[in-house]
Amino acid sequence: MHLALLRQQTHGIDIRFKENLTTRELMYRKEIVIQDQENSLRRNFEKNQITVIEGIPRFQSATMLEITPADSSEKYEITADYTIIATGSSPRRPKWAPFDNECVFDSDTILDIKHLPKKVTIIGAGVIGCEYASIFSKIGIRVNLIARDRNILPFVDRQIAENLMYQMRNQRVTLRLGENVEGIEKINTDEIHVKLESQKILPCSTVLVAAGRFANSGGLNLDKVGVELGNNGLIKTNENFQTTQPNIFAVGDVIGFPSLASTSMSQARIAVLHAFGQLESEKMPKDLPLGIWTIPAVSMVGKTEEELTDACIPYEIGIAHFKEISRAHIMGEEEGILKLLFDPETLKILGIHIIGPHASELIHLGHSVMFYEGTIQYFMNTVFNSPTLDEAYRIAAFNGMNRLDHESL
């Protein structure tokens, strides 16, 4: 979760957290937001006459579920023509990690931390690991971030990922790239040693293991009804999110990447439409916007430079640096990049990559143009409100056209 209180340097004003900040204060806002969202969902359920059943389900057939109620009362059965599985995922808990929810946490239990540590070691540099590294560093905690690969966020455009690494280092995050963890040893209640295969010892007071997640597909009795599973318990589906059992669909984390709330909701909508024969031609968009809540935030849609190069697809680049945008200066957020990848012949957009403030908001304008097969000329011809961050699209488009003009000389 992206913290609402951030330290910013703006025209000599230094807004910092108070020294005795507690986890209770940090988590209070989180609980309020979650409760508001839950209440909103329940109101929508009531308005749409949706019955909520709290319990543990097991398939007895493709159209029958046995429910074990949460209050431990007697089991009962319900029937349905179609079922959508959206059971999510759980953190992977490696055997070498002595989880105790006091000093060693996974990505779910870290939200129950009782006090703010002085130094955190985060194992895993995927989305969750990078997000928590940003959050902890922004509240003044020193962070070690361990990655098995030589890069973080392997699916992100390299220029964007490298920019994020640069900014994380400036925020007191020490990156340990290309390292594997050999073990974790508790020295005392205040000190833990993380030992790497390279024989380095990293002392800290708290460890967060963000070593991936696995699908919550166990216990549903899926083998009995012919639903096939893939690696890590992920449920196999077709493009309509229908499993190998035609009456059963699956969406969200339980089917794998991208495992985002936004994509999961769209997947569920399409699954329902196809289950009931509505809009049978509707498919998930080929290119989906992805948001990563690091500080600064990262968002992307379409292909990366690396993917286009591997596929032998010609492309040109247009870049806007946020330091060129007056709105970014007003906000005190000059560190940022908006990058357009486009076809040099047709000028159609192939990919958009952003790092900086409001990246996950900015991406939608570019995604809309890309979805309707627009070109960078749209950004060149459009009048943008000023000062706004959206002006970055216009700057990037002109930058790309200038590159084309120079290369044609």
Residues paired with residue 229 on neighbouring β-strands, in sequence order:
235
pTM: 0.89
Domain residue ranges in the chain:
1-45, 53-85+230-284, 92-213, 290-408
Task: Give yes or no for a contact between 248 and 83, defined as CB atoms under 8 angstroms apart.
Answer: yes
Return the pLDDT at 11.
46
Domain 92-213's class? alpha beta
What percent of the chain shows pLDDT beyond 70?
A: 93
Q: What fold characterizes domain 290-408?
A: Enolase-like; domain 1 (3.30.390)
What are the pLDDT digits (tens) for 77-125? 999 999 999 999 999 999 999 999 999 999 999 988 888 899 999 999 9
Task: Say whether pLDDT at 1 is over 90.
Answer: no
CA separation for the pair 208, 202 (Å, rounded) = 13
What type of residue is 94?
P
Q: Where does 53-85+230-284 sit in CATH, by number?
A: 3.50.50.60
DSSP codes of every residue in 257-322: TT--HHHHHHHHHHHHHHHTTSSTT----SS--EEE--SS-EEEEE--HHHHHHTT---EEEEEEG
Task: Say whether pLDDT at 16 is over 60.
Answer: no
Buried (b) or exposed (e) across 195-228, using 16+ Cβ within 10 A? Answer: ebeeeeebebbbbbbbbebbbbbeebebeebebe
Fold match between domain 53-85+230-284 and domain 92-213: yes
CA separation for the pair 185, 290 (Å, rounded) = 36
> Per the structure block, which two tokens stand in for 17?
């957290």
> In this structure, what DSSP letter does residue 195 have?
E
What are the pLDDT digits (tens) for 323-382? 999 999 999 999 999 999 999 999 999 999 999 999 999 999 999 999 999 999 999 999
What is the rounded average pLDDT of the residues 210-216? 94
Task: Give yes or no for a contact between 288 and 257, defined as CB atoms under 8 angstroms apart.
Answer: no
